[in-house]
A and B are shown apart, each in its own frame.
Chain A
């Protein structure tokens, strides 16, 4: 049973560039949430996708956008990268929303912005 998979695992970008991160949820899961984890901090909620729509959003600017595909996989896009966007980006999958809190996380994509 494949867990949550994310790609790429590491990437380096420069300020002003754009990045796309990808996530495949755990088999049987239909909901994907994205979190940003800065060094030494806990994950912070970016947004959640369910039924191909953004269902909830945290306190992140519009530079952060996403998409969910019919197969439940998801992408996170960040435009006009800032140095402060350097972080581990975590994808978490669940079934039918966040009611149970039982999120399964991928290993993350580590983004470095120079």
Chain B
């Protein structure tokens, strides 16, 4: 079993839709939860960073963490064509390396 499971998609939505991206994990030691966005042929860029259960909002993006279910989500409201990218969840246990999901490829259709 992988440390982090993420549906690879691909996911296609119309412009303006609400997008839900999810990851599950098995190791309860994970304390820090991140979402990265990766455009084609580019490096990942940090979108959201949380360290506790609950919601964190930043503009059109909301990160949600449920430690009891070992489930994290990223919601994108009013999706735009510029949001088309691969979204990677990443988890960290203390001062250790990041464990990434496989990434979900999202396309927002104008």
A and B associate:
yes
Q: Is the CB of B100 within 8 A of A98?
A: no
Q: Which residue of B4, B41, B49, B96 is within 8 Å of A98 (Cβ)?
A: B96
Report if A105 contacts B (CB, 8 A): yes
Q: Which residues of B contact A48 (CB under 8 A)?
A: 97
Question: In the complex, which residues 25-52 of chain B have their Cβ closer than 8 Å to any Cβ of chain A?
Answer: 32, 34, 36, 41-46, 49
Report A's interface with B, CB cutoff 8 A. Answer: 4, 33, 40-45, 48, 56, 58, 90, 97-108, 110
- Interface size for chain B: under 10, 10 to 19, 20 to 34, or 35 or more residues? 20 to 34
Bound-complex Cα distance A106 to B45 (A): 9
Q: Which residues of B contact A100 (CB under 8 A)?
A: 32, 49
Q: Which residue of B8, B36, B97 is within 8 Å of A58 (Cβ)?
A: B97
Bound-complex Cα distance A45 to B49 (A): 19
Bound-complex Cα distance A29 to B71 (A): 31
Q: Is the CB of A98 within 8 A of B88?
A: no
Q: Which residue of A40, A103, A108 is within 8 Å of B98 (Cβ)?
A: A103
Q: Which 3 A-B pairs have the closest CB atoms?
A: A42-B100, A105-B43, A45-B97
Bound-complex Cα distance A42 to B95 (A): 20
Main secondary structure of the interface of A (DSSP, over half): loop
Distance between B83 CB and nearest chain A CB, rounded to angstroms: 19
Q: Which residues of B contact A42 (CB under 8 A)?
A: 4, 6, 88, 90, 100-103
Q: Is the CB of B49 within 8 A of A102?
A: yes
Known contacts A45-B97, A45-B98; is A101 also within 8 Å of B34 by CB? yes
Q: Is the CB of B46 within 8 A of A99?
A: no
Q: Is the CB of A98 within 8 A of B92?
A: yes
Distance between A6 CB and nearest chain B CB, rounded to angstroms: 8
